[in-house]
Amino acid sequence: MLHRVLWKSVIVGAILAISGCAMVQYNDGEKVSIQSDGWYGLDSLQKTADKACQQYGKSKAVYQHSANANPHLAPGSGVQNTIWKCEP
């Protein structure tokens, strides 16, 4: 019984580790900063940025640039900070 519980905990932990996340760090209606795991595609982040801009009555977000949160890692790996500009 204990073996099954431990095995299920390992499976759930692995799924959570693989799933990753993306979150808005900053949003003032002009710029949006999103922090995400490196494997998130810009198409997925675009949807998040668009929703963030729409909170301020803007129609969409336009990609500006991305950078590693840890500059010692290879470009595009690890946690990414992505900047978007809100447009009317």
**Cα–Cα distance, 64 to 50 (Å, whole number):** 13
Whether 59 shows a pLDDT value over 60: the answer reads yes
Percent of the chain with pLDDT over 90: 59
Q: What is the pTM of this model?
A: 0.74
Confidence at residue 13, expressed as pLDDT on a 0 to 100 scale: 44
3-state SS of 46-77 is HHHHHHHHHCCCCCEEEEEEEEECCCCCCCCC
Q: Is 49 helix (H, G, I), strand (E, B) or coil?
A: helix
The stretch 44-60 carries a mean pLDDT of 97
Where is 20: in which H helix or E strand? none
Structure tokens at 70: 């840890």
Whether 9 shows a pLDDT value over 60: the answer reads no
